[in-house]
Amino acid sequence: MTSHVRTAIFPVAGLGTRFLPATKATPKELLPVLDTPLIQYAIDEARDAGVERMIFVSHPAKQAIERHVMDDARLRATLTARGKEDLAEELAEHALCPVQDDVVFVMQEEPLGLGHAVLCARDHALPGPVAVLLPDDLILGPPGALSEMIAAYDPDSAGHMVATMEVAAEDTRKYGILSVTGRDGRRLIADGMVEKPSPTDAPSRDAVVGRYVLDHSIFEALATQAPGAGGEIQLTDAIARGVSRVGLVGFRYSGRRFDCGSKVGMLAATLELASHDPDCAALLREMGLSTDAPRAA
Ligand code: G1P
pLDDT range class, residue 142, cuts 50, 70, 90: very high
Q: Does residue 175 line the site of ligand 1, with CB under 6 A?
A: yes
Q: Candidates 137, 175, 206, 239: which one to mutate for ligand 1, based on the most atoms within 8 Å of Cβ?
A: 175
Residues 272, 258: Cα–Cα separation, whole Å: 10
Q: What confidence score (pLDDT) does residue 117 get?
A: 98
Q: What confidence score (pLDDT) does residue 96 get?
A: 82
| Inside any domain, residue 189 | yes
Mean pLDDT of the region 253-280: 95
Domain count, the chain: 1
| Inside any domain, residue 288 | no
Q: What are 231-241's pLDDT values in tens digits?
A: 999 999 999 99
Q: Does residue 213 line the site of ligand 1, with CB under 6 A?
A: no
Q: What confidence score (pLDDT) does residue 131 get?
A: 98
| Inside any domain, residue 270 | no
| Alpha carbon distance, N-terminus to C-terminus of the chain | 57
Q: How far is the CA of 176 from the centre of ligand 1 (A)?
A: 6
| Inside any domain, residue 291 | no
Is the model's pLDDT at 1 over the cut of 60? Answer: no
Using CA atoms, how far residue 72 sits from 22, 31, 46, 91, 250, in Å, is: 24, 19, 21, 8, 39
Least confident among 79-88, 138-147, 176-185, 287-296? 287-296
| Opening angle at CA 174, ends 168 and 176, nearest 5 | 95
* pTM: predicted TM-score of the whole model, two decimal places: 0.94
| Inside any domain, residue 294 | no
Q: What number does the ligand 1 atom closest to the CA of 114 have?
A: 8
DSSP 8-state code for residue 114: H
Q: Does residue 260 line the site of ligand 1, with CB under 6 A?
A: no
| Inside any domain, residue 31 | yes
Q: What are 66-123's pLDDT values in tens digits?
A: 999 998 889 999 999 999 999 999 888 888 876 677 999 999 999 999 999 999 999 9
Q: What are 165-195's pLDDT values in tens digits?
A: 999 999 999 999 999 999 999 999 999 999 9
Q: What number does the ligand 1 atom closest to the CA of 193 have?
A: 9
According to DSSP, the residues that pair with 58 across neighbouring strands are 107
Is the model's pLDDT at 3 over the cut of 90? Answer: no
Q: Which residue has the higher pLDDT, 256 or 291?
A: 256
Q: What number does the ligand 1 atom closest to the CA of 210 have?
A: 6
- Residue 32: asked if its preceding bond is cis (omega within 30°), the reply is no
Q: Which residue from 205, 10, 13 is spatially nearest to 107, judged by alpha carbons?
A: 13
CATH code of the domain in which 69 resides: 3.90.550.10
Q: Is 50 left (phi over 0), alpha (psi -120 to 50) or beta?
A: left
Average pLDDT for the chain: 94
Residue type, 279: D
| Inside any domain, residue 200 | yes
Q: How far is the CA of 189 from the centre of ligand 1 (A)?
A: 20
Q: Does residue 228 line the site of ligand 1, with CB under 6 A?
A: no
Rg of the chain, C-alpha, whole Å:
20
Q: What is the dihedral of CA 230, 231, 236, 241, to 10 degrees?
A: 140
Q: How far is the CA of 210 from the centre of ligand 1 (A)?
A: 6
CA atoms within 13 A on the CB side of 190: 32
Give the closest residue (by CA) to ligand 1 atom 7: 175
Q: Candidates 38, 165, 174, 193: which one to mutate for ligand 1, based on the most atoms within 8 Å of Cβ?
A: 174
| Inside any domain, residue 235 | yes
Using CA atoms, how far residue 76 sits from 71, 72, 79, 80, 253, in Å, is: 9, 6, 5, 6, 36
Residues 54, 10: Cα–Cα separation, whole Å: 7
| pLDDT over 70 percentage in the chain | 97
Q: Does residue 27 line the site of ligand 1, with CB under 6 A?
A: no
Q: What confidence score (pLDDT) does residue 17 get?
A: 87
Residues 145, 163: Cα–Cα separation, whole Å: 8
- Residue 197: asked if its preceding bond is cis (omega within 30°), the reply is no
- Show the domain range for 44: 7-261
Q: What are 14-70's pLDDT values in tens digits?
A: 988 889 998 999 999 999 999 999 999 999 999 999 999 999 999 999 999 999 999
Residues near 78 by Cβ (< 8 Å), separated by ≥ 6? none
Least confident among 38-42, 216-220, 282-286? 282-286
